[in-house]
């Protein structure tokens, strides 16, 4: 018997080590997909078995009498304390069933009579199976069983605590609305409805997770979104094979085309206005209950680079900010590698006076340029993560200690050269200026690849890395749409109309890379076959 087996099977007593009593063989949970019985006692026993009563301390079961015109029937309700509203249950479920007596219409079945006249709650779902009833109760409903009726009535009496509307945290905005999504899916869909007052806006309810049954909402505008795109997203959602899904980030890994690509293929946003804009462009938005982020599909590089502020600015201002974003992205990924190439392999590209200053600063440091650059880049990544993880009170302190004290001390001690500090600072500012957080992480990873490639082979290694990186971006797809559309492949709109804000900034036209229904005569296909057409 091995060491760990002995640890698991024996425990120490005063008399010595004795064998533990073995647990009973594992018994799989009972199958819930069975029909509801007419006998209320049988239904009660099944609910106790399925809901693990009385081990589940938050499960409430209560017996009462239902007053019917011809008889008085036994009944019971079950719900989870904290998910359902006690006041709604008392006023709209128990009170009408126990006290009110209505005249039954002629030839009216009892199950229809209870649903129509006695339960005054606005939304009542009659469930024929235990599985459907339990799923609705786990989402804040209240189940009602009545003796002699083979139906479980589930009243919508949700009453859990929820976070109020706040500003978006990860997507700050100077102009435009300041509303961000919350963790409650129905509040989020209502915000979309409030913004897009279009009867063609479709919100389809579905669930993901074999056991969690997490509610989701698939949103699209019927006369804009491509039917093939909607069908493909539904297909991928149906193929999600996971027991528990709680957030959009978990679901994103199941929906994207490839998990091995560095760049994200689905845009996650917590801004109501941005999700609404993407819907109006013919894209599809997916929301998951419990997550304040919405997934936008498909997404390209230029989708990630644009910010909602560009819609609210005058055209010259918006284009200037867009140009700044592209420059910051290039600096964040290419500047350290170019610095290695120029200082180590191509000194002739540096002015003479600057070259003398650089060589003087490099001579007094004990480490090579590569080591200094890599160590400082890793140090900055540590400081960035520390500032995010610690409370807001200590965040500025970490920035001051890391950026000023440690940096100045390292230069004064001749451990690193001042020019390396400047390069790392420029790279950090460019990385922080990238509009999308996930895209910034992807290019931060590639930054280290450029550094090592440049250190090994100079400009040749830098060029090869740039070529492979561009090829990887060209082959990346988001639901059949190329990541670099409309540049590669080229579409009708072209680069400038997509990357910048043109004269049609009021969005009278829609992007053509997703083949929206507004332009059915445009013969442009960004499908998985990758064929280009102009």
Secondary structure (3-state) at 434: coil
The phi-psi region of residue 386 (left if phi > 0; otherwise alpha if psi is between -120 and 50; otherwise beta) is: alpha
What pLDDT, on a 0 to 100 scale, did the predictor assign at position 396? 59
The closest of 115, 143, 124, 112 to 44, measured between CA atoms, is: 143
The closest of 110, 60, 55, 105 to 81, measured between CA atoms, is: 60
What pLDDT, on a 0 to 100 scale, did the predictor assign at position 100? 66
What pLDDT, on a 0 to 100 scale, did the predictor assign at position 52? 86
Residue with tokens 């700044």: 324
**Packing angle of the helix pair 437-475, 369-389 (nearest 10 deg):** 130
The closest of 188, 155, 137, 231 to 479, measured between CA atoms, is: 231
Residue 518 burial (10 A CB sphere; 0-12, 13-18, 19+)? middle
> From CA 53, how far away is CA 143, in angstroms rounded?
15
> What is the signed CA dihedral for 432, 436, 442, 445, rounded to 10 degrees?
10
For the chain, give the number of residues. 534
Secondary structure (3-state) at 281: coil
Tokens describing residue 83: 């998910």
> From CA 184, how far away is CA 401, in angstroms rounded?
39
Tokens describing residue 29: 């949970």
Is 443:433 a contact under the CB 8 Å cutoff? no
Beta bridge partners of 64: 75
> From CA 226, how far away is CA 479, in angstroms rounded?
12
Peptide bond into 410 cis (omega under 30): no
What pLDDT, on a 0 to 100 scale, did the predictor assign at position 171? 79
What pLDDT, on a 0 to 100 scale, did the predictor assign at position 509? 63
DSSP-H helix ranges across 256-351? 272-280, 301-305, 309-312, 315-344
Secondary structure (3-state) at 495: helix
Q: pTM value?
A: 0.78
**CA 65 centroid distance within chain:** 46
What pLDDT, on a 0 to 100 scale, did the predictor assign at position 530? 40
Is 96:124 a contact under the CB 8 Å cutoff? no
**CA 295 centroid distance within chain:** 6
> From CA 97, how far away is CA 115, in angstroms rounded?
10
The phi-psi region of residue 221 (left if phi > 0; otherwise alpha if psi is between -120 and 50; otherwise beta) is: beta
Secondary structure (3-state) at 288: strand
> From CA 122, how far away is CA 154, in angstroms rounded?
11
DSSP-H helix ranges across 345-417? 352-363, 369-389, 395-400, 407-412
Residue 159 burial (10 A CB sphere; 0-12, 13-18, 19+)? middle
- pLDDT tens per residue, range 344-399: 888 888 888 888 888 877 777 888 888 888 988 888 888 777 777 666 655 555 66
> From CA 440, how far away is CA 435, in angstroms rounded?
8
Residues of the chain falling short of pLDDT 50 = 1-11, 17-19, 22-23, 26, 505, 520-534
What pLDDT, on a 0 to 100 scale, did the predictor assign at position 317? 84
> From CA 256, how far away is CA 442, in angstroms rounded?
15
Is 370:455 a contact under the CB 8 Å cutoff? yes
> From CA 35, how far away is CA 55, in angstroms rounded?
24
- pLDDT tens per residue, range 274-328: 999 889 888 999 999 888 999 999 999 988 988 877 778 888 888 888 888 899 9
> From CA 123, how far away is CA 173, in angstroms rounded?
38
The closest of 254, 272, 283 to 308, measured between CA atoms, is: 272
Looking at residue 271, the DSSP 8-state letter turns out to be B
Q: CA neighbours within 13 Å on the CB side: how many for 27?
A: 6
The closest of 447, 242, 429, 410 to 333, measured between CA atoms, is: 447
Residue 286 burial (10 A CB sphere; 0-12, 13-18, 19+)? buried
> From CA 249, how far away is CA 60, in angstroms rounded?
33
> From CA 137, how far away is CA 122, in angstroms rounded?
16
> From CA 257, how far away is CA 236, in angstroms rounded?
10
> From CA 67, how far away is CA 291, in angstroms rounded?
43
């Amino acid at each position: 018997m091995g060491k760990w087996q002995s640890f698991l099977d024996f425990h120490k007593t005063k008399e010595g080590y004795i064998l533990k009593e073995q647990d009973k063989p594992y018994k799989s949970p009972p199958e819930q997909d069975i029909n509801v019985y007419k006998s209320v006692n049988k239904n009660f026993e099944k609910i106790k078995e399925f809901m693990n009563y009385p081990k589940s301390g938050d499960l409430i079961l209560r017996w009462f009498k239902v007053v019917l015109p011809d008889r008085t029937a036994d009944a019971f309700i079950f719900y989870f304390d904290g998910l359902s509203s006690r006041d709604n249950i008392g006023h709209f479920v128990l009170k009408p069933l126990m006290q009110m007596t209505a005249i039954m219409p002629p030839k009216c079945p009892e199950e229809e009579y209870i649903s129509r006249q006695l339960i005054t709650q606005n939304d009542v779902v009659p469930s024929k199976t235990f599985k459907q009833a339990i799923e609705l109760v786990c989402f804040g409903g209240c189940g009602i069983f009545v003796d002699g009726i083979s139906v479980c009535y589930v009243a919508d009496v949700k009453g859990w605590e929820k976070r109020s509307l706040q500003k978006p945290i990860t997507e700050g905005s100077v102009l435009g609305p300041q509303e961000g999504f919350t963790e409650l899916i129905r509040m989020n869909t209502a915000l979309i409805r409030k913004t897009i007052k279009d009867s063609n806006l479709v919100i389809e309810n579905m669930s993901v997770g074999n056991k969690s049954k997490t509610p989701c909402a698939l949103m699209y505008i019927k006369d804009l979104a491509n039917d093939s795109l909607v069908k493909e997203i539904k297909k991928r959602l149906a193929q999600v094979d996971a027991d528990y899904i709680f957030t959009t980030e978990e679901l994103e890994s199941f929906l994207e085309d490839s998990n091995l690509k560095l760049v994200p293929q689905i845009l996650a946003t917590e801004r109501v206005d941005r999700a609404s804009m993407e819907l109006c462009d013919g894209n599809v938005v997916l929301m998951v209950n419990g997550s304040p982020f919405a997934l936008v599909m498909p997404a390209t590089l230029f989708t990630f680079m644009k910010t909602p502020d560009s819609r609210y600015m005058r055209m010259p201002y918006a284009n200037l900010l867009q140009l700044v974003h592209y420059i910051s992205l290039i600096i964040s990924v290419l500047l350290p590698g170019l610095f290695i190439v120029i200082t180590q392999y191509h000194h002739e590209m540096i002015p003479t006076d600057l070259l003398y200053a650089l060589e003087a600063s490099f001579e007094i440091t004990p480490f090579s340029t590569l080591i200094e650059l890599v160590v400082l880049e890793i140090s900055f990544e540590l400081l960035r993560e520390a500032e995010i993880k610690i409370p807001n009170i200590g965040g500025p302190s970490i920035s001051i200690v890391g950026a000023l004290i440690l940096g100045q001390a390292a230069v004064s001690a001749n451990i690193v050269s001042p020019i390396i500090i400047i390069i790392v600072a420029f790279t950090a500012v460019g990385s922080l200026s990238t509009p999308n957080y996930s895209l910034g992480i992807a290019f931060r990873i590639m930054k280290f690849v450029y550094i090592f490639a440049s250190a090994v082979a100079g400009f040749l290694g830098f060029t090869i890395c740039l070529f492979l990186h561009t090829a990887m971006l060209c082959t990346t797809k988001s639901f059949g749409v190329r990541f670099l559309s409309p540049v590669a492949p080229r579409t009708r709109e072209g680069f400038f109309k997509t990357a910048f804000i043109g004269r049609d900034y009021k969005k009278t036209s829609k992007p053509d890379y997703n083949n929206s229904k507004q332009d059915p005569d445009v013969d442009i296909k960004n499908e998985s076959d990758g064929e280009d057409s102009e």
